[in-house]
Chain A
Amino acid sequence: MSVTTTSIAVDETPLVLHLLRRADDALILGHRLSEWTGNAPTLEEDLALANIALDLIGQSRALFDYAGSLCGLDEDQLAYRRDARQYRNLLITEQLNGDFACTIARQFLYSAFIDPYWREAMSSSDATIAAIAAKAEKETAYHLRHASEWLIRLGDGTGESHRRAQAGLEELWPFTGEFFEVDAPDQSLIDAGTIPDPAELHDGWSSRINTILARATLTRPKDSWMQTGGRTGRHSEHLGHILAELQYLQRSHPGAKW
């Protein structure tokens, strides 16, 4: 008996793999943020979070497009036809939104990493990555400012907002170790000057976190055991639920177009 599947196989060269990692980060976080649409605390934030979601989904499209051109697939196939175990996103991006403070904490921790990453990637030896980075960096610079200013006001706001912001940081902190992971495929790209070395971004990330948390009167969580697994497809239970919603149409009607 043969079993048919709508899932595709991807030939993950180091470059394709890295592009998928960055694309999946942006797609999954963008999808999570889109869940705030219609539910944000104010109309202004509803639009702000939707704008950021659209920026991220746009970044994922550019990255999927480039990855697809290297492995003979298109952006829709890469987004809609891979299973959870084939997704390469950071675990922090798939975590539940929680309350507004938790969402802001996640956006802050991620943006403080990814904005300097894109700035460094603008001088990539790969011209396409450099171009994608130049566009993305302008967007993530604003994401970082938006999240930083909110975190400062939540932390230094009322007792309730401070408590929620601190709780969000504590919950998400164990997911920040993944930002700086490097495995053999990524190392080969770092050596070739194709992507930035995340280790060299750590000090800048750390001092940015300290500066904003000090202004927010929040406490930096202690480094202890860090979560890992997203980059090799070992995800939390949340990703399957996201993909069910994200992929059902293309899974039911493969290749459907608007």
Chain B
Amino acid sequence: MDFPILSAVTFLPLAGAILILLIKALTGAQIKADGTEDDRVMYAGLLFSVATFIVSIVMFLSFDLTGKGYQLVEEVTWFEGIQYKMGIDGMSLLLIMLTTLLTPIALIASIGSIKKRLTEYIVSFLVLETFMIGVFSALDLILFYVFFEAGLIPMFIIIGVWGGVDRIYASFKFFLYTLLGSLFMLAAVVYMYLTAGTSDVAQLEQYAFDPGAQTWLWLAFFASFAVKLPMWPVHTWLPDAHVQAPTAGSVILAAVLLKMGGYGLLRFSLPMFPDASVLFQPFVFFLSVVAIVYASLVAWRQTDMKKLIAYSSVAHMGFVTLGIFSFTEIGVQGAIFQMLSHGLISGALFLIVGVVYDRMHTRDIAAYGGLVHRMPVYATLFMLFTMANVGLPGTSGFVGEILTMVGAFQANTWAAAGAALGVIFSAVYMLTLYRRTVFGEITNPELENIEDVNIKELICLIPLAIGTILLGILPSLIFDITRESSLHALAQVAGG
């Protein structure tokens, strides 16, 4: 049997977390008088997350980019016909790469800004990374559910311990909202397991559920994924969670956790419930367009930088659902691309906010203005990601938006028209944000001595900047890898 590299990537962070805890338990608590901990914990955590990234690159190289179907499949019986089955295709490969790239960046961004309870912080992120990778590589529905849900616990702790003032409220809202949606999915999963006699994803794709059952199953899955994405009107947990979460938590939340919803729709809803997907297409289009327009307008009126970006995430996820439910290859390709691109851009934007928050300890837009005079490098990077979020050609944001709209146009002209409105609005709110924080004269005297981005922050932002531009110029890098996944997701809908 080959070396189980996929499991290695998945469980390496968890192993690291356990090792860190063991070392800490054996060497005794190293908490200093002022409540800070030994920095070496941070470097150990970083070591494991970077190692995971390196192993995931090795996995990338051993992946056959032209091959069809799931690769690097590992199967072990778990119980009663339910298996520990892992495997990836192009889409999940890229999402895993996104995860393994962003976790070390999130940890680097936390150096210095997280002072209390560092060990638990590192451990939470490593455990979370394992579950995120697990979500993207599980090929058994029950196993998927375990990973999907389990990630809530570390995120709950990250928001609740290191979050802002209202962190308790935000963490409970995040947890219970997601749990409610997921439990309906669990009931649907059990029904599918009992009806089809298997919870193997590949076999369930071949199993034709009768259209009546499909409707209910689709709704149950949608309840879970719509909350996760999040779609209007079940998006209200997201602004709260983002605002309260620490910077690194927001980065992971926006960049990776939101992608689980889109991934779930493509991996499960479309191939397994093709009839219901077609049936609900207008419904999803309606919700997506409302999300795009409404969230953009709400974002415009925000006074909190993080909240603005959170609402912009809701709008951008609207493009993802629009693309997925266009049932065209171009739309689905665009949706996958948009997910990856949004992962890079929104992660970067939350880091950008984190940079000034660390210095000023406020996210109020009105407290800033004229940053360009003191922070030229910062202003440049901020400009790049602002433009990428607006969807300027040459950045990755453009490709995702245009393709999903082209796809949606083929399916429903009005939906595409509504989405196009969102593109305009995104320029409005992002440019307003940029103008009010970066341009103008310095009005707040506290900003006089603000320092520009340091090396640590550059290390975090530069890879994301490169990724954003690279994907904007050479989108075919991604399309070649995800083509098979897109066609696979559409096979049942288009064929049926």
Chain A partners chain B? no
Chain A interfacial positions (CB closer than 8 Å to B): none
